[in-house]
Amino acid sequence: MRNIFLVYMPLNNLEAMTHYRDTIQQRVPLEHIRRYVSDGIAQRIQHIFGNRPIAVWGSRDSSANRSKFEKMAEGDDVLIVEGDAIKFMGKIALKTVNPDLSRALWHNIKAAETSAWDLIYFIANPVEIDVPFREFCRLFSYEPNYQLRGLTTIGNDKLEEFYRRYDDLYAILMRVGAGQRVVERSPIANVPEEIPIVPATTDDAEEAPGEALISDHVMMQWKLANLGLKAGEKIWVPTSDQGRLRSAYRFNEFESEFSTGIDLQKKYYENIDVVWKEEYRIGAAFEVENSTAIYSGLLRFADLNVVAPNTLYPMFIVAPAERRGRVRDQVLRPAFKRLELPGKVRFLPYETINDIEEFFSNSVGGVTVELIQSKAEVIV
């Protein structure tokens, strides 16, 4: 269970707002950090963030803050609250107690002030939002007038109740900010029975694929993985498939472990054919259906939507164009419609992937999740 930390900035606090602009909004280059940290920490930062500038924040080294800081772990959520609104959220990537780095990043307005913000945390998946804090209080059963002070952590009882009812804090706050509906988790026992008992039929199943068909599946995984790298994303492919991509294409740019911002068991996402990831957040998920029954990939997406109904990342069924009708028929099954998959899953033909790959063949970047979404077909 992931912890959630709240950082309060009083309205019109010039010192805090200046620091927020300098190291959250504008970020900090790794080279500026490297000179003040150990080689081990610098290498870990580079592994997580690459060469991107980093959002950094810190808290005063008081005994109360230190006890909360010591509870921080990689992947925990952190929210910055200004006045009565949540203005920022991200994931704890790394932490350090470092007076030298603190002095280099942040200065006291009062020259006589000697205390600093030595409890430093590097923040992954940073996003600026604007959500009334009262909505957070409602989700976690705090009184509407609950007052924050400094660095606060959510109690275990409230965390357990939240994760029993909900899935992804990021997706929920984004939905709340956009005025969208938030869905509570369904108990696993309530998964619609139609999904696991849908039988394979002659229409759904084809003869066992030969090497050429297997190669097409692996080729699409490889192309999607390469496009993901050009989108600046980290790449996950099931462990059982990684050897095939290494053997066929000498591709080895895989994430060594699968970490997400969603409190889920690995079985729900680790076998998706290709996943594009930010540091701790899924960017896009792809199921390649070359010759298998279309609904096998949809089952994985359905499972995710049962246990994490508020997730926002796009999901794609990738298949040859001639399977378009089959994809539509399967997505529109009553069980999948009940889970609203037709509005969440798009069809991405092989031919479209080939066109995108060719267009960006001489580029090292430029691909985005939004581009892929715009080229995929909505299933209605």
Same domain, 264 and 197: yes
Kindly list the strands in the beta sheet with 119-132, ordered across the sheet, starting from the edge strand earlier in the chain: 55-59, 119-132, 85-97, 77-82, 4-9, 151-153
Residue 165: inside a domain: yes
Task: Determine the pLDDT at residue 284.
Answer: 94
Task: Determine the pLDDT at residue 203.
Answer: 35
Q: Which residues contact 362 (CB under 8 A, 6 or more apart)?
A: none
Task: Determine the pLDDT at residue 368.
Answer: 95
Same domain, 161 and 241: no
Residue 331: inside a domain: yes
Alpha-carbon distance of 348 to 324, in angstroms, equals: 9
Residue 316: inside a domain: yes
Task: Determine the pLDDT at residue 259.
Answer: 67
CATH number at residue 91: 3.10.590.10
pLDDT tens digit sequence for 56-97: 999 999 999 999 999 999 999 999 999 999 999 999 999 999
Strands 377-378 and 119-132: unpaired
Domain boundary among 150, 177, 204: 177
Domain boundary among 177, 200, 235: 177
Same domain, 39 and 102: yes
Residue 183: inside a domain: no
Same domain, 172 and 200: no
Task: Determine the pLDDT at residue 199.
Answer: 34
Same domain, 172 and 251: no
Same domain, 208 and 165: no
Task: Determine the pLDDT at residue 263.
Answer: 57
Q: For the chain, how many structural domains are there in total? A: 2
Among 84, 118, 86, 113, smallest CA distance to 101 is for 118
Same domain, 170 and 224: no
Task: Determine the pLDDT at residue 191.
Answer: 44
Same domain, 214 and 243: yes
Q: Which domain does 311 fall in, by range? A: 192-378
Alpha-carbon distance of 211 to 156, in angstroms, equals: 52
Same domain, 254 and 280: yes
Residue 156: inside a domain: yes
Kindly list the strands in the beta sheet with 315-319, ordered across the sheet, starting from the edge strand earlier in the chain: 234-236, 274-277, 282-288, 315-319, 345-349, 377-378
Alpha-carbon distance of 319 to 351, in angstroms, equals: 9
Q: Taking the complete model, does pTM exceed 0.85, yes or no?
A: no
Task: Determine the pLDDT at residue 257.
Answer: 74
Is the Cβ–Cβ distance between 95 and 121 less than 8 Å? yes
Residue 184: inside a domain: no
Same domain, 152 and 200: no
Residue 187: inside a domain: no
Helix (H, G, I), strand (E, B) or coil at 284: strand
∠ Cα 82 309 379 (to 5°): 115
What are the pLDDT tens digits along the chain (380 aa)?
789 999 999 888 899 999 999 999 999 999 999 999 999 999 999 988 988 999 999 999 999 999 999 999 999 999 999 999 999 999 999 999 999 999 999 988 776 666 789 999 999 999 999 999 999 999 999 998 898 988 999 999 999 999 889 888 999 999 999 999 998 877 653 444 443 433 333 333 333 344 444 478 899 999 999 999 999 999 999 988 999 999 899 999 988 777 665 555 666 678 899 999 888 888 999 999 876 677 778 888 888 888 788 888 899 999 999 999 999 999 998 988 888 889 999 999 999 999 999 999 999 889 999 999 999 999 87
Same domain, 167 and 247: no
Both structure tokens of 27? 């970020």
Same domain, 146 and 266: no
Residue 186: inside a domain: no
Strand segments (E) across 60-138:
77-82, 85-97, 119-132
